[in-house]
Amino acid sequence: MAGLTTLRGKVAGMNRVNVDTDQIIPKQFLKRTEKTGFGQYLFYDWRFLADGTPNPEFELNRPENQGASILVANDNFGCGSSREHAPWALQDYGIQVVIAPSFADIFHQNCLKNGMLPVVLKEEEVHYLLEKAKSASYELTVSVEDKTIKDAEGFQAEFPLSAYWQKMLINGWDEIELTLQMDDQIKRYEDSLI
Amino acid sequence: MGKTIIDKLWDQHIVHREEGKPDLLYIDLHLVHEVTSPQAFSGLRMKNRKVRRPDRTFATVDHNVPTVNRFNITDPVANNQMETLRQNCKEFGITLADINSPEQGIVHVIGPELGLTQPGMTIVCGDSHTSTHGAFGSIAFGIGTSEVEHTLATQTLWQSKPKTLKVQVDGKLGTGVLAKDVILYVLSKHGVNFGTGHIIEYCGEVIRDMTMEERMTVCNMSIEGGARAGLVSPDETTIEYLRGRKYVPSGQEFEETAEKWLALASDEDATYDKEIYIDASEIAPMVSWGTNPSQTAPVTGRVPFLNECANENERRSVESALAYMDFKEGQQISDIKIQKVFIGSCTNSRLEDLRMAAEIAKGRKVAPGVQAIVVPGSQNVKVLAEAEGLDKIFLEAGFEWRESGCSMCLSMNADIVPAGEHCASTSNRNFEGRQGAGSRTHLVSPAMAAAAAVNGYFVDVRKMESAEAVH
């Protein structure tokens, strides 16, 4: 996995609370056996009308949100099902960073495991960004090293990120490989069970 | 100071602890199904890795399986996913309860009934309703596919310890008020994220009085409140449920193991990061009216008015739910007409659930214009229910009696609620489109679902004859 240190990108806003993973990637698209190709189905039931044409009302279909790599959302983003297809779909669509006042636990974890960054900011900061995101040219710079988010107009916010995940993201490390190096310790634990 | 069962189990499973890192936790049991595992097995294969403990891994097919003509799978993509799991289990040496196995069923139904699920374990599965297994006094939580791969390869997971949350339900439940109503009531009171970052321990007289199947219903929906895991301390009810099951020890070894299990219960003086107290006398049969499980009201109640919303976020959420469900503000729950009924899912598809639904269905007829299906949680449940004649009661009343699987809980197979139709469902999520694009789900108990089926709209099951048998 490629490392993630800093990212500068366009921002799309989605001012909805409790966006569940059934909306992010509806169940009829979970039958694939690969990790790729889910972007076309992202937010399918919101993004497309019954006849398959794009719903012009939906946030990601608006002209100002085209080409966004940063999504700003509201409370409890990614709640519900544990399907990792949700971050896969966001990533495949082009979203690398999601900002919200809070995330559901499993979704939060699933993002990190795929080199995506879930950013928790204060409610007033998120509301500021949701307003700003209405402009087509609005961009943010996200630094994993400094744990900060900045715009070109003087906005700056720090976000929490554990030292562990900071290191994992920056280096793009394979977590399984690291754990396998601890095989002796796992073996010792297993021996103690008998 | 005493310890909670959560603290005890967590500490027992730490393989490695280091400042600045999550704990490396040992995983005792890994349950696998066809939808969230294929990419994990591909990952292993690409790096030439093995499954560390096939003996601690158990697989079944449940999400995709048809509930009629189950051996004739017409969806080629679903069929491919099942075939892929078959190949993966063969290649990596994992036991599979395949579609033709008498042990097949919803992964969260078969784990407990086979005795794979045991007190004191850490249990994971690539499914958020893994919290169900917490009913046995285990730390059981849903994981994504990357963590499925990590568990397959290492039998461990890196996890930061969640906070502890006590949910105590005091008193006695009234007649016709079931475990499902308890958890729906908790969600309606405390919202969809009260448990985020926490493991819940359910306790109090009501939980103690519950059977294991009822405790599973409660723990199952912990994730709907944002908690990855919810559990109940083991007691005699737990031990008696497990005695004689396939994968638990037998004879003297069982008695010795049972003693150890009982010792895992939370200490009397244990403290929690957060505590919630519920008075059972306030709980009525519940019906969800919105598009998340906290948008739920008593059957005697109504949908809210927008001016009752506490803040802007809630208002937006209620507004969009009303539009999706095609409801007016203040609408009475008892005025909601239904066209579909689904009795099943990892929340409510066990023998006791089917018995309670059958009590209400007995001698009555499904209302005209309503399609009602009963989907047992496993082949075992189906056999036991048929031995009691429950299938005949349902069939005589006009319900359809199906084969086991996840079915209409998430409608990955052919069991779909058409757009615009309302479904009384014993499942766990009423999200937009969950039961099919445009479907409108109402979460209820099995007794309430059967009552809705025979009336065509929601009625208070406590007012029906034979309701006294439902408790």
- Which of chain B's residues have a Cβ under 8 Å away from the Cβ of A190? 26, 155
Q: Is the CB of A105 less than 8 angstroms away from the CB of B192?
A: no
Give the dihedral of Cα atoms B353, B104, B183, B8; nearest 10 deg.
Answer: 130
- Which of chain B's residues have a Cβ under 8 Å away from the Cβ of A27? 410-412, 434
Q: Is the CB of A76 less than 8 angstroms away from the CB of B142?
A: no
Question: What's the order of all strands across the beta sheet hosting A156-158?
Answer: A117-120, A97-100, A68-73, A6-14, A139-143, A148-150, A156-158
Q: Which helix (H) or strand (E) holds A28?
A: none
Q: Is the CB of A76 less than 8 angstroms away from the CB of B22?
A: no
Cα separation, B180 vs B428, in Å, equals: 9
Is residue B170 within 8 Å of B267, Cβ to Cβ?
no
Q: pLDDT (tens digit, 9 = 90+) per residue, A151-183?
A: 999 999 999 999 999 999 999 999 999 999 999
pLDDT at A1: 80
pLDDT at B290: 98
- Which of chain A's residues have a Cβ under 8 Å away from the Cβ of B158? 164, 175, 179
Q: Which residues contact B445 (CB under 8 A, 6 or more apart)?
A: B178, B179, B180, B181, B285, B286, B348, B356, B426, B461
Q: pLDDT (tens digit, 9 = 90+) per residue, A15-43?
A: 999 999 999 999 999 999 999 999 999 99
pLDDT at B134: 98
pLDDT at B448: 98
In which residue are the tokens 């069962």 written?
B5
Cα separation, A32 vs B412, in Å, equals: 12
For an interface test with B, which of A21, A24, A31 has the most B Cβ atoms less than 10 Å from its Cβ? A31
Is the pLDDT score of A2 beyond 90? no
The separation between CA B141 and the C-alpha centre of its own chain, rounded to angstroms, equals 12
Which residue does chain B place closest to A106, by CA atoms?
B143
Of A73, A86, A105, the residue nearest B194 (C-alpha):
A105
Using DSSP's 3-state secondary structure scheme, residue A127 falls into helix
Strands B156-159 and B23-26: antiparallel
Say what the pTM is. 0.97
- Which of chain A's residues have a Cβ under 8 Å away from the Cβ of B62? none
Low-confidence ranges of chain B (pLDDT < 70): 467, 471
CA–CA distances in Å: residue B22 to residues A27, A181, B14, B360: 31, 16, 10, 49
Looking at chain A, the whole-number percentage of residues with pLDDT higher than 70 is: 100
Does B228 contact A at CB distance below 8 Å?
A: yes
pLDDT at B188: 98
Question: CA quadruple B249, B250, B253, B254: dihedral positive or negative?
Answer: positive
Residue A132, CB-side half-sphere exposure with 13 Å CA sphere? 21
Cα separation, B92 vs B143, in Å, equals: 20
Is residue A143 within 8 Å of A122, Cβ to Cβ?
no
Question: CA quadruple B335, B339, B341, B346: dihedral positive or negative?
Answer: negative
Q: Is the CB of B80 less than 8 angstroms away from the CB of A33?
A: yes
Quote the mean pLDDT of chain A: 96
Cα separation, B406 vs A51, in Å, equals: 28
pLDDT at B347: 98
The separation between CA A144 and the C-alpha centre of its own chain, rounded to angstroms, equals 14
Is residue A61 within 8 Å of A47, Cβ to Cβ?
yes
